[in-house]
Structure 1
Amino acid sequence: MTTLAPRSPHGLFTSGEPVRSWTVSTAKPVRYEVGFTPDVLDPRNPALVGAGVPDGDPVPPRRLLVVETTVDELYGDRLRAYGEARGLDYEIHVLTAHEQLKTMDAVFSVTEAMDRFGIARRSEPVVAIGGGVLMDVVGLACSLYRRSTPYVRVPTTLIGLVDAGVGAKTGVNFGPYKNRLGTYHPAAQTLLDPRFLATLDRRHLSNGMAEILKIALIKDRDLFGLLENHGGRLVDEHFQGDRGLDPVVREVLGRAVHGMLEELQGNLWESELERVVDYGHSFSPTLEMRALPELLHGEAVCLDMALTTVIAEERGLVLPRERRRILDVMCGLGLPVWHRLCEPGVLGEALADTVRHRDGSQRLPLPLGIGDAVFVDDVTPGELADAALSLTLYHTADKEDGHA
């Protein structure tokens, strides 16, 4: 609904003079779908070809498929067989996508492919098949192309499945800053297929576990218990449900996605800057970019969560036994709790950049026990230094015990 009002209570004329100023007010409903879709590349499954399209889609349908290089190597034959079986008029644009290539050049590569293919503006959504970096790049390209082009996300990594694939944000890095350029442009539909995790290496599974742990620590104590009891086996078995784990797989992934969407739904455009899902994302952007290519996103997030868990313990928000459980779960999931860049100078710069990003206040989420969070605005350099030292000592002791 749109309303148009002249800046005058008397209509179009004030004292015989025409009005020169108007206020336009409008609202656009936002609706997108996220759902688990097993065996999305099975030719008998119509989900992929039907995703994100309005009624009356032309037959045969046309699709530009943007596929990450490794995904094409692993699943390209199946994807092409799917296209042929479903009568799809398609083109595959293969894109190498990782954090160091997450730039506007990658966005331009996708837009050039969109131009070559000649996609229709509304009825032929671009399909992004890959990890979080690829989906962010495609999402940004689609938000810019003809000012808004629909797209579909098919995440193939754990971090894409529970985090990057379910929100509204797109983005690329600029200079030394992570996701400094971006838009809010949710995919019309996201198809979540855990079968892709079968070919994901162990490190990238652990990487995605960090975002699941984030949800557990700030809002879902039961999810934390599941990670504490089953997290290692979930990683070992690639979330495929071997040896009776299938109900646990469904519950862990379902809770993680639901928890994320529950927090995002009322604040997609981040008009409210106090966001509990920013937990783990106060210091990690700087740590991740400074360490490239050494740290993956989830690993940097885990360092951030370890640091803020220790800060919370010192403030009496987390009990010592809870802090031990949290750090033990992190290590059990194969995630780091220390890095050489976790030192006062770097952490101070990271916090300063976060304050600018959050409009002049820290708005720093800290865990409150396990399963809740509070916001603070007064973390000091001394606290950062003490927390960094505490994690160094923990890491050293763990290494001496033969666990790292």
Structure 2
Amino acid sequence: MRSAASFKLGLSHTADADSAWKVEAVKQVEYHVIAARNLFALKSTQLLDSCSAAPLTRGDRRLIIIDANVDRIHGDRIRRYFEHHGVDAHFVPMRADETVKEWSSVIRVVDAMNGFGIDRRREPVIAIGGGVLLDVVGFAASVYRRGTPYIRIPTTLIGLVDAGVGVKTGVNYAMGKNRLGTYAPAIATYVDRAFLRTLDDRHLSNGLAEILKMALIKSVDLFELLETYGPRLIADNFQGTSGELDTAATQVIAESIHLMLEELQPNLWESCLERCVDYGHTFSPTLEMEALPALLHGEAVGIDMALTSALGFLRGSLGSADLDRILTVMKRLGLPVWNDVLDKTGLLDAALADTVRHRDGRQRLPLPVGIGGHHFANDVTPGEIASALKLLSRKNAELGEPTVTRVAS
């Protein structure tokens, strides 16, 4: 009989009548976020060789799950790229929005992987689309044969700076935002601003909400960039048609990704539940699902940030001038700070209670400290929430509707 001493380090055995074994193992996690310029230009080789973990050579096969709208706009160009480089690419266009971010969409991706006969060691799935598609494909890849590698190519601003850079995947279930999900890092994410050229203003504003989130809790410098350039970047679709706007677009996207990864990297599996990147995500999951499809994800996050900024003001951690400055920037970025769903009795109290369940019984509610700082609260009361709502309603009326005016760059 093998003795306990012969086992490898990390496996211990007690040799009494009721034997027990303790297994300890560490898995190294590594993934890449790669800035790209015109990824699918025929002369570009970034997708072929910039990530050593997923080289792509002539004669290889790839299964490509692509958002149906992206396929309609960019599909011909992307197909020509793979044909030019001799890659046998099989495309599966899919509808991908919050109303279909559900288990049935996951099954469709699983069926595609199964029908393709994917080699899960050598043929990573490629997901091309917005945050919803990246989440669905990532979830499907994580559960197919207990883990299939995948590559993300986000095509929306929210995908570039948020959904494409972390390790979480998820789909909605029973009115629960991302109730089903896994931690499953992609091999690589390619961040290419060229896709933003065809995005409409609303979806650019949607992504800017997640950038503003990072600014409000971590960086006054990033906030000032948004304050100075935000509307012009929307008008320019982040394409950098002048040197000044190119620099601003690069700085805004790069800094928001860097700040996000700086927070995620030490806590990828969320062992610590006090996460400042949860700012804007306390009430918004319930708001978004309740108002579906009226609110986009970033719009719900924006309303959450407006509400918690009002809370911060009432608690004394945010000055009156800073509150007005934050709400003004939100409006200038085309983000709503109010939605009629907020009038629903008890909705926000229920939203906070649901979040508490997900944060191990405590609120762990990030609140702003000035612009660029934060702290966590665990004692917010329903009365405070009601007072913050009244203040926000008044401020919203004073500021008027959000507007983004197209101007020459």
TM-score with structure 2 length normalisation? 0.94
Q: Give 1:27-176 correspondences, 5 Å limit.
A: 27-50=26-49, 54=53, 59-176=58-175
Deviations 1:291-333 (A, max 9, x none): 0000000000000000000000011100100001000000000
**SS of corresponding position for 1:183:** strand
CA distance in 2, matches of 1:403, 1:60: 47
Q: For residues 247 and 120 of structure 2, what CA distance do their matches in structure 1 show? A: 41
Which residue identity is paired with 2:325?
Answer: R
The letter for the 1-side match of 2:12 is A
The reply on whether 1:4 has 2:11 as its aligned counterpart is: yes
Note the alpha carbon deviations across 1:202-226, whole angstroms, 9 max, x for none.
0000000000000000001100000
Cα displacement (A) at 1:258: 0.3
Aligned length: 396
1:183 Cα offset (Å): 0.1
Partners of 1:120 and 1:403 in 2: how far apart? 47
Residue 214 of structure 1 is matched in structure 2 by: 213
**Matched letter for residue 351 of structure 2:** A
Report how far residue 47 of structure 1 moved: 2.2
The aligned runs of 1:2-401 (5 Å cut-off) are 3-6=10-13, 8=14, 13-14=15-16, 17=17, 20-50=19-49, 54=53, 59-243=58-242, 244-343=244-343, 345-399=346-400
**Which residue identity is paired with 1:168?**
V
2:366 match: secondary structure: strand
8 Å Cα contact 2:355/2:363 also seen in 1? yes
Following superposition, the deviation at residue 403 of structure 1 comes to 10
User: Please, which runs of 5 or more residues in structure 2 have no aligned partner?
Assistant: 1-7
Distance in 1 between the 2:326 and 2:219 partners? 13
- Letter of the 1:145 partner, please give it: Y
Distance (whole Å) between structure 2 residues aligned to residue 401 and residue 139 of structure 1: 34
Displacement of 1:352: 0.5
Give the fraction of aligned pairs with identical amino acids, expressed as a percent.
Answer: 53
Asked if 1 retains the 8 angstrom alpha-carbon contact of 2:134 and 2:164, the reply is: yes
TM-aligned CA deviation for residue 399 of structure 1: 3.0
Does structure 2 conserve the Cα–Cα contact (< 8 Å) formed by 1:54 and 1:123?
no
Offset at residue 86 of structure 1 (A): 0.6
Alignment partners' CA distance in 1, 2:42 and 2:281: 39
Describe the superposition over 1:67-96 as per-residue Cα deviations: whole angstroms up to 9, x where unpaired. 000000001100110111010011001110
User: By how many angstroms is 1:52 displaced?
Assistant: 5.6
Contact kept, 8 Å, 1:52 with 1:125, in 2: the verdict is: no
Indicate if the aligned counterparts of 2:167 and 2:184 stay in contact, CA closer than 8 A: yes
C-alpha contact 1:174 1:180 (8 A) present in aligned 2 = yes
Tell me the alpha carbon deviations over residues 34-86 of structure 1, each in whole angstroms, 9 at most, x when there is no partner: 01111111122122244666478675111000000000000110011011101
Per-residue CA deviations over 1:177-203 (Å, capped at 9, x if unaligned) read 100000000100000000100000000
Give distance in 1, aligned partners of 2:232 and 2:261: 26
1:111-145 superposed Cα distances (whole Å, 9 cap, x missing partner): 11111111101111000000000000000000000
Structure 2: distance between partners of 1:20 and 1:172: 40
Q: For residues 402 and 83 of structure 1, what CA distance do their matches in structure 2 show?
A: 40
Give 3-state SS (helix, strand or coil) of 1:365's partner. strand
Letter in 2 for 1:376: A
One-letter amino acid of the counterpart of residue 59, structure 2 = P
